[in-house]
Amino acid sequence: MDAVLDIAPIATARSGSAVPPVRIDRVTKDYGRRRALDEVSLTVERGEIFGYLGPNGAGKTTTLRILLGFLRPTFGRAEVLGLDSWSRSRVAHRRIGYVAGDVALYDRMTGDELVRYLGHLRGGIDADYVRALADRLHVELDRPIRALSKGNRQKVAIIQALMGRPELLVLDEPTSGLDPIVQQQVHELLREHASDGGTVLLSSHVLSEVQRTADRVGMLRAGRLIAVERLDDLRQKSLHHVRVRFASPVSGDEFRIEGVRDVEVTGNTLRCASPRPALNELLRAIARHDVVDLSCEEASLEDMFLAYYGGNGGGDAA
């Protein structure tokens, strides 16, 4: 890659506007008789990483496509960077970096040629920054894209999203196909982007990925946004799955402690789910008996959302 591109680098200063980078108001999307999104309302603030969670088919990708102006909502309004996502999408795209869930690149180009082409459409990029991204992600941009593995194609997609230092990153399953070391680099890049004043909307069904990076998370199920929580707040009430095998049978009544859920005693085995504040009292009750075996595992984010907010199924939406 040449040291300097033949187009001027774009400005990287963040807008001082107080307008939220993402604002969704009662957005509904129908495909015939099937409802993919049902009155979803959401605001993502500047400088935060927002994790958009949900099982495959819950409607996450449909939401992102509406935000990017690829789909028009049946009802409601979506705005990105203060612009209507449908009528002003072409203007908004210059300020957004995007990684699709089904990455499709120009196979006949090299990664370098793709970066130059897309950079020209954006109005210019910083070649040194592109090179630094390629080094950090360990990808060779001088190779034809058709010769790259799925993981390396994903790296090129991430580079093209980041290279213009956009105000908003919209990422749909961005680390799919990447090894754990590269995933960690991507997470660091996202945190750096947010620290620099950028905003990240990260859609994923990989809950551990969101736990490592997000400031807030929203859970989408069957097209409905069932809850939005700060990750720190959610950790405070995180559930732990507890299983204890005693030397002799016990009664379940003494383990029905405030906050402890799903208490089930079968003979000499106890199973329950306990939030962190109730663990000490639960362990004191357990310690009154002769314990043969004990396991305590933190529940996944999805389990925690469902325990506190309910909901069934993943829905049929994209």
**Confidence at residue 162, expressed as pLDDT on a 0 to 100 scale:** 94
The pTM is what? 0.77
Per DSSP, the residues of 279-293 read HHHHHHHHHTS-EEE
The pair of structure tokens assigned to 25 is 């108001």
**Confidence at residue 17, expressed as pLDDT on a 0 to 100 scale:** 61
Per DSSP, the residues of 252-266 read SGGG--TT-EEEEEE
Phi, psi of 71 (to 5 degrees): -130, 150
**Confidence at residue 302, expressed as pLDDT on a 0 to 100 scale:** 66
**Confidence at residue 308, expressed as pLDDT on a 0 to 100 scale:** 66
* Whole-angstrom distance, CA of residue 52 vs CA of residue 174: 12
Q: What share of the chain is helix, strand, coil (3-state, %, to 5)?
A: 35, 30, 40
* Whole-angstrom distance, CA of residue 26 vs CA of residue 250: 50
CATH of range 22-229; options 3.40.190.10, 1.10.10.10, 3.40.50.300, 3.40.50.1820: 3.40.50.300
**Confidence at residue 10, expressed as pLDDT on a 0 to 100 scale:** 31
Phi, psi of 11 (to 5 degrees): -65, 140
- Angle at which helices 150-162 and 127-137 pack, to 10 degrees? 150
* Whole-angstrom distance, CA of residue 26 vs CA of residue 37: 9
Which three-class secondary structure state does DSSP give residue 155? helix
**Confidence at residue 318, expressed as pLDDT on a 0 to 100 scale:** 52
Q: How is the chain split into domains, by residue range?
A: 22-229, 239-298
| Cβ atoms 163, 194 nearer than 8 A | no
Amino acid at position 197, single letter: G
* Whole-angstrom distance, CA of residue 301 vs CA of residue 292: 29
Among 98, 120, 58, smallest CA distance to 311 is for 58
Phi, psi of 164 (to 5 degrees): -90, 10
From first to last of its 318 residues, the chain has per-residue pLDDT tens of: 443 333 333 333 444 567 899 999 999 999 999 999 999 999 999 999 999 988 778 899 999 999 999 999 999 999 999 999 999 999 999 899 999 988 888 888 998 999 888 888 877 788 899 999 999 999 989 999 999 899 999 999 999 999 999 999 999 988 888 888 899 999 999 999 999 999 999 998 777 778 888 999 998 888 999 889 898 777 776 788 999 999 999 999 999 999 898 999 999 999 999 988 899 999 999 999 999 999 998 877 667 766 666 654 444 445
| Cβ atoms 152, 182 nearer than 8 A | no
Q: Where are the beta strands (DSSP E) in the chain?
A: 22-31, 34-44, 49-53, 75-80, 83-84, 96-99, 168-172, 199-204, 216-221, 224-230, 239-246, 261-266, 269-275, 291-298
